[in-house]
Amino acid sequence: MNANPLVKGFYDERTGSIQYVVSDPETRDCAIIDPVLDYDEKSGSTKTSSADAILAYVEGKQLTVQWILDTHPHADHFSAATYLKTKTGAPTAIGAKVVDIQKLWQKIYNMPEMKTDGSQWDRLFADGESFRIGNMVCRVIHSPGHTLASVTYVVGDAAFIHDTLFMPDSGSARADFPGGSAASLWSSVETILALPDDTRLFTGHDYRPGGREALWESTVGLQKAENPHVGEGRDAFIRLREERDATLPFPRLMLHALQINLNAGRMPVPEANGTSYLKIPLDAFAINAW
């Protein structure tokens, strides 16, 4: 088994998101993690430029896509999982707890037609489950806090940690979405930081503090040494996270994106005129931070 997978990150400037291709250098098999479907909320238009850049990389490196993986249902961009499945034939997967988020948001959206059994994906991964990318074994760690369903994918010396920790100068992810929990997020961070110090950590977002260049790779050792959110322990982390989250507005695409992403990136069924429509609940949340 190769302990050093090749990792290619694709930074999406519009949402600060990072998409990944992780590949086995021996077999050239790969997985795509957290792909972005481009969406402009002003015009309601979608395009596939970000996902197509991944496909171009895969083709250029002569890779075979074995998996299309989501770490969680994203609140700030549309998932391109279904689009990439149509292009590659690879199965889609997400953490098994996605069903709990589906049940929660089915009520918020008042969408009884939304399936809440996770059947939109080909595979639901439980905590501790393993699968292969070529000759590499990938281990799944349930990492709740940011969402109920978040998972971390550990492949050799690389861990894809989504919205738990950001780069050390950016701290940690918010935990105030429906079903989120700062206490659960701390437990997930502890589990990640228990990995070997030289484990490469690949975050889900980077917002370029101070205007620096986009970064997305750190290590367990670097996080423990330099991330101010983890140095003071559990109680301080929960207090900091809850105080900070209370000042944050919802992501601007959250109500747009979740009805797409809880359906594995599929658009709503077109209406009689051939057009798909989003559904936005009004005044469903008592949010003071606009």
What residue segments make up the domains of the chain, in order of their start? 6-261
Among residues 51, 46, 69, 117, which one has the least CA distance to residue 278?
Answer: 46
Tokens of 142: 């349930």
Concatenated DSSP letters of 20-46: EEEE-TTT-EEEEES-EEEEETTTTEE
Answer yes or no: is pLDDT of 267 > 90. yes
Tokens read off for 197:
């110090």
List pLDDT tens digits, range 158-206: 999 999 999 999 999 999 999 999 999 999 999 999 999 999 999 999 9
Is beta strand 123-125 parallel, antiparallel or unpaired with respect to 78-79? unpaired
Closest to 140 (Cα-Cα) out of 111, 187, 97:
97
Contact 84, 269 (CB under 8 A): no
> Taking the CB of residue 149, how many other CB atoms lie within 10 A of it?
25
Q: Global pTM?
A: 0.97
State the Rg of the chain over Cα.
Answer: 18
Q: Output the pLDDT for position 289.
A: 75
Best CA proximity match to 149, nearest among 164, 137, 130: 164
Collapse the DSSP code of 283 into the 3-class scheme (helix H, G, I; strand E, B; otherwise coil) and give the result: coil
- How far apart CA 159 and CA 290 sit, in angstroms, is 34
Asked if residue 36 lies in contact with residue 68, where contact means CB atoms within 8 angstroms, the answer is no
pLDDT tens-digit series, residues 70-85: 999 999 999 999 999 9
User: For residue 6, is pLDDT > 60?
Assistant: yes
Handedness of CA 47, 34, 119, 251 (dihedral sign): negative
Q: For residue 202, list its beta bridge partners.
A: 160, 217
C-alpha distance from residue 203 to each of 133, 141, 147 (Å): 20, 15, 15
* pLDDT band at 288; cut points 50, 70, 90: low
CA 9 to the chain's CA centroid: 13
Q: Does domain 6-261 have CATH number 3.60.15.10?
A: yes
